[in-house]
């Protein structure tokens, strides 16, 4: 089974990661990982940091002559901000005492991990809480997950995401309009979706909406606030039968939710119709079953590719909400940790809207979850062995 760990602070020297459980014989290059790292850095609404960070992860172990060996794979990703030291923050990330003369931060921002970090870890400075809760860490998760994503791609499973709402701008019929647009594109595999979305500065597939979303971000940047929104990620080529209904922790929908809700700033996740299912009568929710061309199919996909927490073989459709970034030019009221005096929040460099970048993070963090479910069913120590298992499954499919 695949597991991974990340280490590293936002303004420390680098992010470090190890992924274990990737089978032997998978072709992988630093460029394939860099593709998703670069995608994560693009998008309207980002802050000043992305102008100089050019993420490229170095593979330190686990790969020989362009193929995995089945051994742990280590990646490292330097923070240019550390060398650049344009803010003074890298200085306070020194291992030794060099930055100890810098004043501690004692004014917590509402909505960030500032106050709770200090209370929980008994820091006397907010800086360490900022450093590890920062979304910078998602760069390493994207890097490691890109390897699992490549494994899925090898077996025909594709992932693609796009943005469906930013602040007050979104599709009129949030389910129907998006299905009309996205479902036909999925016939060519979910990667079609991300490639088309990458053409938009906000990763929205509708050109008019894309422009309106950009205007919305521009407006709130000028007003000194920030924006959240909704994203959608779809998967194609997923075989029926991944996950299980026999025990709660084996339901794949639940495992996906954990990976998504474990991502910075996510406040909700839904599969298929999701919350909309609660507003409709049952006959407008459940997908009718047919038998065509020798296989069972569903007429619609309102349950988003799952029944009983198990994949049905239909595309997986996942949506989620990201809250607005808590660092804003418009101050909110807060309290100094030391003096207990009420005051306005301070501002530090930040993005205005991270939605277009966050959807790339989601595309990637779900890859190890799906890959684990796939390995649970078809697993082996090498890609070749998994191919034998998967091909036998496809040939022997009785139902
Ligand atoms: C972040 C603040 C900004 C973002 C950062 C997340 O960085 P800085 O504090 O250096 O201005 O750019 O995101 C990244 C660096 C990244 O790679 O995504 C925060 O406070 O969460």
In angstroms, the first-to-last Cα distance of the chain is 27
Tokens read off for 129: 């809480």
Ligand 1 center–CA 28 separation, angstroms: 28
Q: Tell me phi and psi for residue 68, to 5 degrees.
A: -70, 155
Classify 287 as helix, strand or coil. Answer: coil
Confidence at residue 96, expressed as pLDDT on a 0 to 100 scale: 75
Tell me which residue has tokens 């917590």: 108
For residue 81, which atom of ligand 1 is closest to its CA?
10
Distance CA 209, CA 211 (A): 5
Does the C-beta of 260 come closer than 6 Å to ligand 1? no
Instruction: Determine contact, residues 163/202, Cβ cutoff 8 Å.
Output: yes
Does the C-beta of 74 come closer than 6 Å to ligand 1? no
Which among 350, 358, 360, 361 is the best mutation to test ligand 1's pocket, defined by most ligand atoms within 8 Å of the CB?
A: 350
Distance CA 207, CA 200 (A): 8
Instruction: Determine contact, residues 167/204, Cβ cutoff 8 Å.
Output: no
- Residue 16 domain boundaries: 3-397
Confidence at residue 398, expressed as pLDDT on a 0 to 100 scale: 64
Q: Which residue's alpha carbon is at the smallest distance from atom 15 of ligand 1? A: 136
Distance CA 240, CA 311 (A): 5
User: How many structural domains are present in the chain?
Assistant: 1
Runs of H (alpha helix) within 125-167 = 127-133, 138-154
Confidence at residue 399, expressed as pLDDT on a 0 to 100 scale: 61
CATH number for the domain harbouring residue 186: 3.60.150.10
Q: Is the dihedral of CA 79, 80, 85, 86 positive or negative?
A: negative
The strand pairing partners of 335, in sequence order, are 342
Find the helix or strand (DSSP H, E) in which 253 lies: helix 252-261
Q: Which residue's alpha carbon is at the smallest distance from atom 14 of ligand 1? A: 136
Ligand 1 center–CA 39 separation, angstroms: 15
> Of 127, 125, 114, 140, nearest to 87 (Cα)?
127
The strand pairing partners of 306, in sequence order, are 311
Strands, E assignment, the chain: 3-7, 14-20, 24-27, 58-61, 63-64, 67-69, 73-78, 158-166, 169-170, 229-236, 266-271, 289-292, 295-298, 306-307, 310-311, 316-322, 333-335, 342-344
Taking 70 as the pLDDT cut, the residues of the chain under it are 398-399
Q: Which residue's alpha carbon is at the smallest distance from atom 17 of ligand 1? A: 136
Which among 45, 49, 325 is the best mutation to test ligand 1's pocket, defined by most ligand atoms within 8 Å of the CB?
A: 49
Q: Which residue's alpha carbon is at the smallest distance from atom 20 of ligand 1? A: 134
pLDDT tens, residue by residue, 292-346: 988 889 999 999 999 999 999 999 999 999 999 999 999 999 999 999 999 999 8
pLDDT tens, residue by residue, 189-248: 999 999 999 999 999 999 999 999 999 999 999 999 999 999 999 999 999 999 999 999
Query: Edge-to-edge, what's the strand order for the sheet holding 169-170?
Result: 169-170, 158-166, 229-236, 316-322, 266-271
Ligand 1 center–CA 281 separation, angstroms: 44
Q: What is the pTM of this model?
A: 0.97
Residue/partner pairs of 249-257 with CB below 8 Å, 24 or more apart: 250/309, 251/308, 251/309, 251/310, 252/306, 252/309, 252/310, 252/311, 252/369, 252/370, 252/373, 253/306, 253/309, 254/309, 255/369, 255/372, 255/373, 256/318, 256/366, 256/369, 256/370
Does the C-beta of 134 come closer than 6 Å to ligand 1? yes
């Amino acid at each position: 089974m695949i597991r991974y760990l990340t280490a590293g602070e936002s303004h420390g020297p680098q992010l470090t990661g190890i992924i274990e459980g990737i089978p032997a014989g998978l072709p992988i290059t630093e460029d394939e990982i860099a593709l998703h790292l670069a995608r994560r850095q693009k998008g309207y609404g980002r802050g000043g940091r992305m102008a100089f960070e050019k993420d490229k992860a170095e593979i330190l172990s686990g790969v020989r002559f362009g193929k995995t060996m089945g051994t742990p794979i280590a990646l490292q990703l330097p923070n240019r901000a550390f060398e650049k030291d344009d803010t003074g923050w890298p200085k306070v990330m020194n291992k030794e005492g060099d930055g100890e003369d810098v004043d501690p931060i004692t004014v917590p921002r509402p909505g960030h991990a500032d106050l709770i970090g200090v209370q929980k870890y008994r820091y006397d400075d907010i800086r360490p809480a900022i450093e590890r809760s920062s979304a910078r860490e998602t760069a390493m998760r994207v890097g490691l997950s890109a390897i699992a994503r490549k494994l899925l791609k090898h077996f025909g499973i594709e992932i693609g995401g796009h943005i469906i709402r930013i602040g007050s701008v979104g599709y009129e019929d949030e389910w129907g309009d998006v299905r009309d647009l996205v479902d036909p594109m999925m016939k060519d595999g979910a990667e079609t979706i991300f490639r088309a979305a990458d053409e938009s500065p906000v990763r929205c597939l509708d050109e008019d909406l894309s422009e309106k979303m950009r205007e919305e971000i521009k407006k709130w940047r000028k007003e000194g606030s920030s924006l959240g929104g909704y994203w959608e990620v779809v998967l194609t080529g997923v075989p029926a039968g991944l996950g299980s209904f026999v025990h709660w922790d084996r339901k794949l929908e639940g495992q996906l939710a954990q990976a998504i809700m474990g991502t910075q700033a996510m406040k909700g996740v839904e599969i298929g119709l999701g919350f909309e299912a609660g507003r409709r009568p049952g006959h407008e929710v459940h997908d009718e079953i047919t038998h065509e061309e020798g296989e069972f199919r569903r007429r619609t996909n309102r349950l988003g590719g799952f029944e009983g927490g198990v994949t049905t073989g239909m595309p997986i459709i996942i949506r989620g909400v990201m809250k607005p970034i808590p660092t804003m030019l418009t101050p909110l009221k807060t309290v100094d940790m030391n003096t207990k005096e009420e005051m306005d929040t301070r501002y530090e460099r930040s993005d205005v809207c991270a939605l277009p970048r966050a959807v790339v993070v989601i595309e990637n963090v779900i890859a190890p979850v799906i890959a684990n479910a796939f390995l649970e069913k078809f697993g082996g120590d090498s890609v070749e062995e998994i191919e034998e298992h998967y091909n036998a499954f496809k040939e022997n499919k009785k139902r």
